[in-house]
């Protein structure tokens, strides 16, 4: 299908979206906000998330909308809620809208309102752990589908909505297990939307890749010696020389961000997380002994555009060279490539029809998008990208401070309601997409 036909097809979808979106009255809005607050109050924060009440709430909400519901469990007490709106052409690749049920903990005494009461202040800001990350999007998906159903829209493609546990602790028992299951394979997912992040300005943010985390431990050894003696190759001297080299690399990467030449997610981050050395005493350390061993740990984040071989070379030659009695260990916290050997990213330009549909749906609602970004941290989207399935991270929160994992996390009710409208347009455009031989030429290009 040529791009022109695609756009014409899309415009017809837009017109239908706009004409039927007079939005809802204020009583309906109040109901929508109060259900969001209810979902926020379920205790799904780590370290002891209780998923059951949230699960029952979502299932009952989904049934009231008329979605098929299914519960999967790959680890005890960790449910995956799968909701399905069957399209007219169920054999076509489906759309999956994912969010996670859990959240990080909160320190209530450091908040202006209780983080688990979802209190709405006079400005309409709803304070709660999970209000941005990411209970908002889970409920917005459902409200958007409800809107579309109410106006009589029927999708061509099947739309699935998943609520998964444990994203905040790595997602292995949640999205990780789900995506590698036969149940997931049977969904025949063609495109995924997952969480993004708030944007402090008027432009929404969208993420086409996550950085890949590595844990690096470097160890140095050397002859021990008296604290007073100057000599070469002590363990700590070797470690300090490495720290110097790493600091220089870190600064060079950070300078690119500070100069506006790269976004934070586009550079390699190397941050020290611990240093271990010295001979302890009950009150401190022995001060007149240079130790024979020293070690340091680093959190490294690689964008999928980085060459991991070059990073390994740098580590072995500059950061932990055997010539200075050093060894190292890299713990890769996820693959660099997808199952076909391609970098873990989803193309975010006009060559990807999913991108075109997504971008134009947002514009049709009056929304603006910032240049697509690589997320500095990781989300569940990486599991589906590993399978070669295109996925974008997107949470419709403009004009909102970035407060995920922070004190006083909040989302304004107006922004939340606007997000429902945006999702309705996106879901309608994605689920009515007619694929031709040329429009999605091959997954290889995505
Ligand atoms: Zn999240």
Instruction: Please state, in angstroms and rounded to a whole number, the distance separating the CA atoms of residues 180 and 170.
Output: 15
pLDDT band of residue 435 (cuts 50, 70, 90) is: confident
pLDDT band of residue 26 (cuts 50, 70, 90) is: confident
Q: From ligand 1's centre to the CA of 209, what distance in Å?
A: 14
Say yes or no: 273 and 351 in one domain: no
Say yes or no: 322 and 420 in one domain: no
Q: What is the sign, positive or negative, of the torsion defined by CA atoms of 307, 308, 309, 313? A: positive
User: For residue 365, what pLDDT is reported?
Assistant: 96
pLDDT band of residue 97 (cuts 50, 70, 90) is: very high
Flag whether 168 is marked binding.
Answer: yes
Q: Is the pLDDT of residue 93 over 90?
A: yes
Q: Is the pLDDT of residue 12 over 50?
A: no
| Interval 253-266: pLDDT, tens | 999 999 999 999 99
Alpha-helical (H) ranges within 109-204 are 135-150, 177-179, 182-187
Query: Angle of helix 3-20 relative to helix 353-364, nearest 10 degrees?
Result: 30
| Percent of the chain scoring above 70 in pLDDT | 93
Q: From ligand 1's centre to the CA of 167, what distance in Å?
A: 7
Q: Is the pLDDT of residue 204 over 70?
A: yes
pLDDT band of residue 335 (cuts 50, 70, 90) is: confident
User: For residue 14, what pLDDT is reported?
Assistant: 46
Q: From ligand 1's centre to the CA of 429, what distance in Å?
A: 25
For residue 406, CA distances in Å to 50, 127, 129, 166, 422 come to 21, 11, 9, 18, 26
Say yes or no: 169 and 82 in one domain: yes
Flag whether 307 is marked binding.
Answer: no
Query: Is the residue at 288 inside a domain?
Result: yes
pLDDT band of residue 377 (cuts 50, 70, 90) is: confident
Query: Is the residue at 393 inside a domain?
Result: yes
102 belongs to the catalytic site: yes
Say yes or no: 278 and 298 in one domain: yes
pLDDT band of residue 122 (cuts 50, 70, 90) is: very high
Q: From ligand 1's centre to the CA of 131, what distance in Å?
A: 10
Instruction: Please state, in angstroms and rounded to a whole number, the distance separating the CA atoms of residues 276 and 297.
Output: 9
| Mean pLDDT, range 41-57, rounded to an integer | 97
Flag whether 134 is marked binding.
Answer: no
Say yes or no: 289 and 434 in one domain: no
Q: From ligand 1's centre to the CA of 176, what distance in Å?
A: 14
Instruction: Please state, in angstroms and rounded to a whole number, the distance separating the CA atoms of residues 167 and 169.
Output: 5
Say yes or no: 168 and 232 in one domain: no
Say yes or no: 381 and 439 in one domain: yes
| Interval 270-296: pLDDT, tens | 999 999 999 999 999 999 999 999 999
Q: From ligand 1's centre to the CA of 441, what distance in Å?
A: 32
**Does residue 134 have a cis bond before it (omega within 30 degrees)?**
yes
* DSSP class of 404: T
Domain ranges, residue 39: 3-210+343-445
Query: Is the residue at 403 inside a domain?
Result: yes
Query: Is the residue at 102 inside a domain?
Result: yes
For residue 94, the domain's CATH number is 3.40.630.10
Instruction: Please state, in angstroms and rounded to a whole number, the distance separating the CA atoms of residues 246 and 268.
Output: 12
| Mean pLDDT, range 192-221, rounded to an integer | 97
User: For residue 35, what pLDDT is reported?
Assistant: 98
Query: Is the residue at 337 inside a domain?
Result: no
Q: From ligand 1's centre to the CA of 43, what distance in Å?
A: 16
Q: Among candidates 346, 330, 348, which has minimal Cα distance to 338?
A: 346
Say yes or no: 204 and 246 in one domain: no
pTM of the model: 0.86
| Percent of the chain scoring above 90 in pLDDT | 89
| Domains contained in the chain, number | 2
Say yes or no: 133 and 53 in one domain: yes
Q: From ligand 1's centre to the CA of 215, what distance in Å?
A: 21
Alpha-helical (H) ranges within 66-160 are 135-150
| Mean pLDDT, range 108-137, rounded to an integer | 97
Within 10 angstroms of residue 154's Cβ, the number of other Cβ atoms is 12
Q: Is the pLDDT of residue 207 over 60?
A: yes
Flag whether 407 is marked binding.
Answer: no
For residue 225, the domain's CATH number is 3.30.70.360
Q: From ligand 1's centre to the CA of 409, what distance in Å?
A: 13
Q: From ligand 1's centre to the CA of 53, what distance in Å?
A: 20
Flag whether 195 is marked binding.
Answer: yes
> Is-contact 184 178, C-beta < 8 A?
yes
| Interval 145-164: pLDDT, tens | 999 999 999 999 999 999 99
Q: From ligand 1's centre to the CA of 110, what distance in Å?
A: 21
Q: From ligand 1's centre to the CA of 421, what distance in Å?
A: 21
- pLDDT, mean over the chain: 93
Which residue in 167, 194, 409, 413 is the catalytic one?
167
Say yes or no: 430 and 310 in one domain: no
Within 10 angstroms of residue 27's Cβ, the number of other Cβ atoms is 8
Q: Is the pLDDT of residue 13 over 50?
A: no
Query: Is the residue at 20 inside a domain?
Result: yes
Lookup: tokens for 320: 């932990």
Q: Is the pLDDT of residue 398 over 90?
A: yes
Query: Is the residue at 197 inside a domain?
Result: yes
Say yes or no: 156 and 30 in one domain: yes
30 belongs to the catalytic site: no
User: For residue 389, what pLDDT is reported?
Assistant: 97
Query: Is the residue at 338 inside a domain?
Result: no
Q: Among candidates 147, 48, 154, 65, which has minimal Cα distance to 104?
A: 48
Say yes or no: 76 and 94 in one domain: yes
138, 133, 128, 107 alpha-carbon torsion, rounded to 10°: 140
């Amino acid at each position: 299908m040529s791009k022109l036909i695609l756009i014409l097809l899309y415009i017809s979808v837009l017109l239908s979206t706009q004409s039927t979106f007079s939005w809802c009255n204020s009583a309906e809005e109040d109901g929508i906000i109060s259900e969001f607050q209810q979902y926020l109050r379920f205790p799904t924060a780590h370290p002891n998330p209780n998923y059951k009440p949230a699960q029952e709430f979502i299932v009952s909400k989904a049934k009231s909308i008329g979605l098929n519901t299914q519960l999967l469990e790959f680890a005890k007490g960790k449910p995956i809620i799968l909701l399905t709106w069957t399209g007219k052409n169920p054999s076509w690749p489906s759309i999956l809208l994912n969010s996670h049920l859990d959240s990080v903990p909160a320190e209530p005494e450091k908040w202006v309102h209780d983080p688990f009461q979802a209190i709405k202040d006079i400005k309409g800001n709803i304070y709660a752990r999970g209000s941005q990350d990411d209970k908002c999007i889970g409920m917005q998906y459902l409200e958007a589908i409800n809107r579309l159903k109410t106006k009589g829209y029927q999708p061509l493609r099947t739309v699935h909505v998943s609520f998964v546990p444990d994203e905040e602790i790595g997602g292995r028992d949640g999205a990780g297990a789900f995506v590698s299951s036969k149940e997931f394979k049977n969904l025949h997912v063609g495109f995924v939307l997952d969480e993004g992040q708030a944007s402090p300005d008027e432009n929404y943010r969208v993420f086409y890749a996550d950085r890949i985390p590595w844990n690096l431990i470097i160890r140095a050894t050397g002859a021990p010696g008296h604290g007073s003696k100057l000599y070469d190759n002590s363990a700590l001297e070797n470690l300090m020389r490495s720290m110097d080299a790493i600091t220089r690399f870190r600064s060079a990467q950070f300078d690119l961000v500070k100069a506006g030449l790269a976004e934070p997610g586009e550079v390699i981050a190397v941050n020290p997380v611990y240093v271990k050395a010295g001979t302890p005493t009950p009150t401190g350390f022995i001060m007149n002994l240079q130790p024979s061993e020293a070690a340091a740990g680093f959190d490294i984040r690689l964008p999928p555009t980085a060459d991991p071989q070059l990073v390994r070379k740098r580590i072995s030659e500059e950061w932990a060279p055997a010539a200075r009695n050093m060894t190292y260990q890299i713990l890769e916290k996820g693959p660099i490539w997808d199952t076909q050997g391609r970098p873990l990213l989803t193309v975010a330009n006009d060559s990807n029809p999913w991108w075109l549909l997504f971008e134009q749906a947002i514009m049709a609602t009056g929304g603006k998008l910032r240049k697509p970004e690589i997320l500095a941290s990781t989300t569940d989207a990486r599991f589906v990208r590993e399978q070669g399935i295109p996925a974008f991270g997107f949470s419709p929160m403009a004009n909102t401070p970035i407060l995920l994992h922070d004190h006083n996390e909040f989302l304004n009710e107006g922004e939340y309601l606007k997000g429902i409208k945006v999702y309705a347009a996106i879901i309608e455009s994605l689920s009515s997409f007619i694929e031709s031989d040329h429009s999605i030429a091959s997954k290889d290009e995505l």
